[in-house]
């Protein structure tokens, strides 16, 4: 019993150990298991993005020519082309029987020649009359013109000095008036200066009298001193007299200085007066000279005017004679020219109708061998040898040197289509080759519903929907291909926008923050993430153009996981619309 208990205990412990080991191993393997991320990554690519407008159309040409002729009711003698033939400019398409027309032209020309001979002499005589009238007019007018020119020169030779003298008289009168206005001022200045001289003279004379008195006093005291020195009895007076003498001499010196100052002042005032007086005399002298000149001009000008008036009358008379004679002679020449024109008109009238007929017939004769004016393929021939031509197209030629595609574009898209846009073109005949083209015409008015119905009936499709207007767009095919034929169906893609060699990501890689900022999430090598603001450019199909200084080609960005397959599977499923 004890052994059984020990055995059960060992089993339980073993089970516990196994469970612990299983738990440890399970925990270990769970730690090693990698959790699959809930997003995909895609590399930033450089590529060219475009936006396009797709449509279908038919291959045609703008160089279609319906060939007609002027040879109405003439017999067709031969037809040189058949449907499918290729023709060049100048190739003969068909021929006409024009023998009767050629004979008619010959007969009419003979009639015109006979009429011309009869009128030739009349025209020559009338032309000579015109020439004689012109020579007579020119000779007469040359002489009269010379006389008028000489009279005009003589008038100008005398009138110019007269005008100069009149101008000189006016200038001198103005100058003397100005000087006379100065006389009063100068005279007043001279009078004031003279008064100042008189005052200075009186002051000098007064100073001179004072000086003379002082000198007389010095001389009297000196005489008394001399007498006292000579008389011993007056020795007591010598000292007092000597003092009086010294005082008298000092007073005399002072008076002399005062006198010198007054004389200097008088000299200054005298010089001022002389200057003012000279100015007055100069102006007065100029006035006198000008007055003399004015008097002379006042006498000479009337005589000059009389002579100039006479010369002007002579010139006017000579000019009138020239003008009157010129009018008369010009009328004579005009009459002669009118007679010449009348003679020419009479001659022309007599032959004009016939000459017009000849010209018209000669123009018709040019179509005897009807030639092609365009190169291309013959698509219709209605002319038959032996029939008489009654009008309409004889041969239809479609130009083969250049093909175009005509397509109908829906009113929703037409505003985005411009002349010059690049176009990609595909046809069944050219297999997988992508032809290059260019928009050369965009219709300004919508295609009528009738026209749209006709196109649908002819097998042409467009981007238009039922009830919407469509516009005809013409596309030039710039890639030569000898498999192309008129009337073939084609598919076109008009490239409205293009961004070349730009950074692109799938549009799902771009998200928008709450503030409107567009971002992509960059995945680093260590699986860390960084949100990079980007500027969005062109969007085309699945791809979007982005730009940022922090991004370059090859970097990985985050994109939502696509259920059921990877990003490559999605792009493969989208095909050509994913990018370009």
| Structural tokens at position 105 | 């032209």
Predicted local confidence at residue 118, as pLDDT: 57
CA dist 57 and 55 (Å) reads 7
Whether the predicted pLDDT of 367 surpasses 80: no
Q: What is the pLDDT of residue 579?
A: 46
Q: What is the pLDDT of residue 130?
A: 87
Q: How confident is the model at residue 312 (pLDDT cuts 50, 70, 90)?
A: very high
Q: Rounded to an integer, what distance in angstroms lies between the CA atom of residue 203 and that of residue 211?
A: 12
Burial class (CB in 10 A: 0-12, 13-18, 19+), 315: buried
CATH number of 103-362: 1.10.287.2610
* Contact of 506 with 42, CB cutoff 8 Å: yes
For residues 413-435, give the mean pLDDT: 93
* 357 CB-near residues (< 8 Å, 6+ apart): 108
Instruction: Give the number of other Cβ atoms within 10 Å of residue 136's Cβ.
Output: 13
pTM of the full predicted structure? 0.42
Q: Which two tokens stand for residue 422?
A: 């690049």
Q: Are 277 and 192 in contact (CB under 8 A)?
A: no
**Nearest-angstrom CA–CA distance, 59 and 403:** 7
Mean pLDDT of the chain: 83
| Backbone dihedral angles phi then psi of residue 535, each to the nearest 5 degrees | -105, 130
- Cross-sheet strand order for the sheet of 369-371: 76-79, 92-96, 369-371
Better pLDDT: 242 or 349: 242
| pLDDT for the residue numbered 400 | 61
> Is the pLDDT higher at 415 or at 88?
415
How confident is the model at residue 275, as a pLDDT? 92
Whether 377 contacts 85, CB under 8 Å: yes
pLDDT digits (tens, 9 = 90+) for 522-571: 999 898 999 999 999 999 878 999 999 999 999 999 998 865 444 455 44
Q: How confident is the model at residue 330 (pLDDT cuts 50, 70, 90)?
A: very high
Q: Are strands 435-442 and 470-477 parallel, antiparallel or unpaired?
A: antiparallel
Q: Are 333 and 130 in contact (CB under 8 A)?
A: yes
Neighbouring CB atoms inside 10 A of 555's CB total 17
Q: What is the pLDDT of residue 199?
A: 93
Out of 2.40.50.100, 3.90.1150.10, 3.40.50.720, 3.40.50.300, which CATH number does the structure's domain 65-97+368-398 have?
A: 2.40.50.100
C-alpha span between 499 and 181 (Å, rounded):
89
In this prediction, residue 3 carries a pLDDT of 38
The C-alpha atoms of residue 187 and residue 387 are separated, in whole angstroms, by 125
Percent of the residues in the chain that have a pLDDT greater than 70, as a whole number: 83
Residue 36 Cα to chain centre, angstroms: 67
Residue 510 near residue 559, CB atoms below 8 Å: no
DSSP assigned state of 401: S
Whether the CB-CB separation of 404 and 60 falls below 8 Å is answered with yes
Nearest CA to 96 among 397, 388, 373, 393?
A: 388
Q: Domain map of the chain by residue range?
A: 2-33, 45-62+402-578, 65-97+368-398, 103-362
Average pLDDT of the residues in 315-324: 91
pLDDT tens for residues 37-92? 678 999 999 999 999 999 999 998 877 788 888 888 888 888 988 888 888 888 89
- Kindly report the number of other CB atoms within 10 A of residue 309's CB atom: 14
Q: Rounded to an integer, what distance in angstroms lies between the CA atom of residue 430 and that of residue 406?
A: 18
Q: Which two tokens stand for residue 419?
A: 């002349």
Question: How confident is the model at residue 349, as a pLDDT?
Answer: 58
CA 42, 48, 53, 59 dihedral sign is negative
How would you class 269 by CB atoms within 10 Å of its CB: exposed for 0-12, middle for 13-18, buried for 19 or more?
Answer: buried
For residue 62, the 8-state DSSP code is S
Nearest alpha carbon to residue 403 among 315, 493, 485, 321: 485
Count CB neighbours of 528 within 10 A.
8
pLDDT at 167: 94
pLDDT in tens, 436-465: 999 999 999 998 653 444 444 444 444 544
Give 376 or 467, the one with higher predicted confidence: 376
What pLDDT shows up at residue 468?
79
The model's pLDDT over 213-264, given as tens digits with 9 standing for 90+, comes to 989 999 998 988 888 888 888 888 888 889 988 998 999 999 999 999 999 9
Helix (H, G, I), strand (E, B) or coil at 54: strand
H or E stretch including 452? helix 449-457
Mean pLDDT in residue range 278-288: 90
Q: What angle do CA 198, 202, 208 make, to 5 degrees?
A: 140
Which of 112-121, 397-406, 458-467 has the highest average model confidence (pLDDT)?
397-406
Q: Decide which of 486 and 349 is more confident.
A: 486
Cβ atoms within 10 Å, residue 538: 16
Mean of the pLDDT values across residues 271-288? 90
- The CATH label, of 2.40.420.20, 2.40.30.170, 1.10.760.10, 3.40.50.880, for the domain at 45-62+402-578 is 2.40.30.170
Mean pLDDT of 492-496: 94
| Contact by Cβ (8 Å): 218, 250 | no
Would you state the pLDDT for residue 351?
56
Q: Across-strand partners of 486?
A: none
């Amino acid at each position: 019993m004890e052994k059984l208990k020990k055995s059960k205990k060992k089993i339980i412990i073993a089970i516990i150990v196994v469970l612990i080991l299983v738990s440890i191993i399970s925990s270990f393997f769970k730690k090693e298991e990698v959790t699959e991320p809930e997003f995909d990554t895609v590399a930033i690519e450089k590529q060219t993005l475009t936006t396009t407008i797709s449509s279908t159309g038919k291959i045609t040409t703008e160089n279609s020519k319906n060939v007609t002729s002027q040879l109405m009711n003439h017999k067709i003698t031969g037809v040189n082309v058949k449907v499918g033939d290729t023709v060049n400019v100048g190739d003969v398409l068909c021929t006409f029987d024009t023998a009767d027309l050629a004979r008619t032209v010959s007969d009419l020309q003979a009639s015109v020649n006979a009429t011309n001979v009869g009128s030739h002499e009349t025209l020559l005589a009338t032309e000579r009359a015109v020439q004689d009238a012109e020579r007579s007019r020119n000779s007469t007018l040359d002489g009269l013109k010379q006389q008028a020119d000489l009279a005009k020169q003589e008038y100008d030779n005398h009138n110019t000095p007269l005008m100069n003298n009149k101008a000189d008289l006016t200038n001198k009168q103005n100058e003397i008036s100005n000087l006379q206005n100065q006389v009063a001022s100068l005279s007043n200045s001279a009078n004031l200066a003279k008064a100042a001289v008189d005052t200075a003279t009186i002051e000098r004379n007064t100073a001179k009298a004072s000086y003379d008195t002082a000198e007389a006093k010095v001389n009297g005291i000196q005489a008394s001193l001399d007498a006292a020195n000579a008389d011993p009895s007056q020795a007591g007076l010598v000292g007092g007299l000597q003092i009086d003498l010294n005082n008298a001499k000092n007073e005399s010196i002072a008076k002399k200085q005062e006198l010198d100052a007054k004389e200097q002042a008088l000299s200054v005032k005298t010089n001022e007066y002389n200057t003012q007086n000279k100015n007055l005399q100069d102006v007065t002298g100029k006035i006198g000279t000008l007055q003399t000149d004015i008097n002379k001009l006042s006498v000479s000008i009337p005589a000059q005017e009389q002579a100039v008036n006479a010369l002007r009358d002579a010139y006017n008379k000579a000019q009138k004679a020239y003008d009157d004679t010129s009018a008369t002679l010009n009328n004579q020449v005009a009459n002669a020219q009118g007679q010449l024109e009348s003679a020419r008109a009479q001659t022309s009238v007599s032959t004009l109708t016939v000459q017009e007929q000849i010209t018209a017939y000669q123009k018709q004769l040019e179509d005897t061998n009807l030639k092609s004016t365009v190169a291309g393929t013959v698509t219709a021939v209605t002319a038959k040898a032996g029939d008489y031509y009654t009008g309409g197209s004889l041969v239809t030629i479609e130009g083969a040197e250049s093909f175009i595609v005509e397509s109908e574009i829906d009113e929703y898209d037409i505003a985005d289509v411009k002349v010059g846009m690049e176009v990609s073109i595909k046809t069944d005949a050219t297999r997988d080759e992508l032809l290059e083209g260019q928009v050369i015409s965009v219709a300004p008015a919508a295609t009528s519903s009738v026209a749209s119905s006709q196109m649908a009936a002819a097998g042409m499709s467009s981007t238009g929907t039922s009830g919407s207007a469509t516009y005809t767009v013409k596309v030039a095919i710039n890639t030569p291909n000898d498999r192309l034929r008129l009337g073939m169906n084609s598919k076109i893609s008009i490239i409205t926008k293009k961004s070349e060699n730009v950074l692109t990501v799938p549009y799902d890689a771009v998200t928008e923050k709450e503030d409107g900022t567009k971002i992509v999430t960059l995945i680093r090598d260590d699986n860390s993430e960084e949100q990079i603001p980007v500027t969005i450019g062109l969007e085309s199909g699945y791809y979007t153009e982005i730009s940022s200084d922090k991004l370059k080609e090859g970097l990985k960005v985050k994109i939502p996981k696509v259920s059921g397959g990877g990003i490559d599977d999605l792009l493969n499923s989208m095909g050509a619309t994913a990018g370009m």
